Structure 1
């Protein structure tokens, strides 16, 4: 009998014995990684679709672009127009409205909670008559293409757990992110690009950090982890060949490496070994695909004008929005943008004006660009932060200079495309903008609805880990049927 590449002698245990029972299946799986079309029944289905039987039903969207505004934009300055706050400026928030809701450590020692209206003007736009701030003139022009949800709410009151909750469905770390769940459930439409890409930008406002745990695969196979793009010379770190190595040498090295890893897999049956082989192969294919897709020089002048001149500056929000369109166009399943700088605890009017200047034009351009290419119907776009802002001031204030604390109880996001009703304002808050009075939408509900639009039942997209069945929506979540077309 032929001796294996590695001879581990009598190294045997229960896991080793059981893994031997499925070597035939393991070898076939390995072959499918090295030869992606091996088990495809047609061009539309990936191996993952065949094995898992996903999607569960006909999807309305194929992919997601999430424009995450890290730091929590104030809904009162952007979308939730509350004239009463201007009328009562400086008066205390009635205790009957606050109802003893928890506060952060930054305002828990305040003896007063003085109300503050927005210094910015609002006007109604579109057929829906949605109120939009003067800070968002470009968003105002696409208001009939988006669905504004004014009744979002979350469990977390501080940035890190709230941000983690939005991305993973849990406030603690080491859970798979939303993009990883979609990669696990649906795979990728493009064999030369990752199914989950992450793009970062930063405004001039007070920032909150973002960390790799937000795009982690958690307990899913590492092949589902998000791939971060950078603004440097090499958009994906460590992707290029070392000096002195050409493509043919890289190919020979990967073939040898695959053979060694196959020997390890045959001994132990560890799925992470096949994931590692797949990652090496993906990196090899990305060496050609990534430089091409990050090259903006071939974009027509009309597109550059639409997104604004900053779209030619790598690492800016505008550049990342344009790159998101290009990645989406190439079939990347989940594109996550993080734009930092929205943490308006002080000097909010000045800071939020700068943040809106960064994101307004490019966000609207993305919707218009997708729509004119016939891609908006199959691409779900989401815009929003991890929670909202209080209707009362934090610390010292004047009518022109104030700050707002964290408010998880009611805030605003918007969605577009992917089977979401356009030109709709959904949900409602009270006259103080403090409590939801109509159609509340929890983070778990949002996740359930996102998965639904991609053809996934959130209660059936499950992964068993350490004896427990996990899902993105934990043990909660319900569809927001009122926003689905």
Structure 2
């Protein structure tokens, strides 16, 4: 029994007409472009697939400022008033309740909604101004403080999501509901690949030194959603083989593996021509990429040839696989080799308790590594074309969770305002955008919504967010959704 014949026999009229429409469309396109033009829109270099590579065919709407993105996500929500949003007035408010006029009836999480009091907890850390821009920075980030004139600070980020799952999904995919493509997948889809031997979109999950309160991180965050499957993120492991199952099994020589893949490719191409399932094309590309990565990944992850000057940038922690510094160094090596989008997750920023004990540890994990990454990219002439992003999914409350009877106080989730920064890739160095009130609770100037942030990133990548779409379920889907979104021009160089 032939499964392809069974599929065609059970095919619906809509499926038949859909395949016919595609054939007519490609015929018309061939007539318009000519034979050579259509071939140029075919599969990527070295590929003989008959299915067109939609990523390679895509064009930016205007010249991009950034060709690569390194997104450093601090999972859990860093405390903005302990790091970037200096509020010295709060010292006079120590242990006084947050005024109702400030809260304005805004909803709270169930972790503090039952508290009888909301005592103000000023930051216990010292701040000082740095750089020509005069940015106030915490003592916990001495390396980051050195490069404030390279950074573009957004102190007025805000979101509707108040809990981790919807908030991190929102800032990664533009929607609080899972199943949508993430930012890295959109970049892969729009820009295509610069390296046939490495993934276009890579994910690294860095292990924090302190593991007191980790949030769940899973592949849903780097899913391609309704975009073709080849645009999903490829996760690299922190120990052992960087990617599982790409090497040949014991006893299987490379020639046998190559012959096997050639046979599978022929079968999959036959299936693609008859059925037209785009996921068949994804399967072909994944097999071929895995074969090529057998040689490219070991070279990428071998840091033994890095000079001592590299570790002067990133610190000695970069020698420890799985650390944030090691991941940041790998990100630079990936960008050098043409990877479009590198996503690094660093956990344990969910400070419901022990702010005094955990914040210093978290900052030590990332501070020098972030500085080193920016300086390393700059020294290699890569910063101008690489957008570096740092931030979490929301901020923290100025009031304490659990009271102030001991030093082990915490801060609850706060979606109304938080701080992120960008560097390179067309972002305006030394910019400080947005202001919050004295309590770091409400935005008083230049709010930036997550949708605006996404629109701005897409702009730096060369896309008009309102026209950068993918047809799915009869709609032109967008990263920024259907609600208004605006490019924040003050953030652009």
Counterpart in 1 of 2:213? Answer: 206
Counterpart in 1 of 2:35? Answer: none
Q: How does 1:111-126 map to 2 (within 5 A)?
A: 111-126=116-131
Q: Aligned pair 1:481/2:489, yes or no?
A: yes
Structure 1 distance, partners of 2:356, 2:260, is 56
Contact 1:198–1:228 at 8 Å: present in 2 too?
yes
TM-superposed deviation, 1:466: 1.3
Q: How does 1:461-472 map to 2 (within 5 A)?
A: 461-472=468-479
Structure 2 distance, partners of 1:158, 1:358, is 24
Structure 1 distance, partners of 2:346, 2:449, is 22
SS of the residue corresponding to residue 33 of structure 1 reads coil
Contact 1:5–1:260 at 8 Å: present in 2 too?
no
Q: Aligned pair 1:443/2:453, yes or no?
A: no
Root-mean-square deviation (Å): 2.3
Q: How does 1:103-142 map to 2 (within 5 A)?
A: 103-142=108-147
Contact 1:34–1:278 at 8 Å: present in 2 too?
no
Q: Aligned pair 1:309/2:316, yes or no?
A: yes
Q: Aligned pair 1:101/2:106, yes or no?
A: yes
TM-superposed deviation, 1:396: 2.7
Structure 1 distance, partners of 2:310, 2:45, is 37
TM-superposed deviation, 1:13: 4.1
Gaps of 5+ in 2: 31-37
Q: Aligned pair 1:227/2:234, yes or no?
A: yes
Q: Deviations over 1:148-194 (max 9, x none)?
A: 11111011000110000010000011001111111111111111111
Number of aligned pairs? 475
Structure 2 distance, partners of 1:275, 1:441, is 36
TM-superposed deviation, 1:30: 12
Residues 343 and 21 of structure 1: is their aligned pair in 2 closer, same or farther, counting only changes over 3 Å? closer
Q: Aligned pair 1:349/2:356, yes or no?
A: yes
Contact 1:16–1:267 at 8 Å: present in 2 too?
no
Q: Which residue among 52, 65, 72 is the counterpart of 1:67?
A: 72
Structure 2 distance, partners of 1:468, 1:237, is 36
Residues 451 and 401 of structure 1: is their aligned pair in 2 closer, same or farther, counting only changes over 3 Å? same
Q: What is the TM-score of this pair, normalised by structure 1?
A: 0.93
Structure 1 distance, partners of 2:117, 2:297, is 54
Counterpart in 2 of 1:42? Answer: none
Residues 392 and 405 of structure 1: is their aligned pair in 2 closer, same or farther, counting only changes over 3 Å? same
TM-superposed deviation, 1:424: 1.5
TM-superposed deviation, 1:88: 1.0
Counterpart in 2 of 1:43? Answer: none
TM-superposed deviation, 1:231: 1.2
Residues 59 and 10 of structure 1: is their aligned pair in 2 closer, same or farther, counting only changes over 3 Å? closer
SS of the residue corresponding to residue 43 of structure 2 reads helix
SS of the residue corresponding to residue 447 of structure 1 reads helix
Residues 18 and 439 of structure 1: is their aligned pair in 2 closer, same or farther, counting only changes over 3 Å? closer
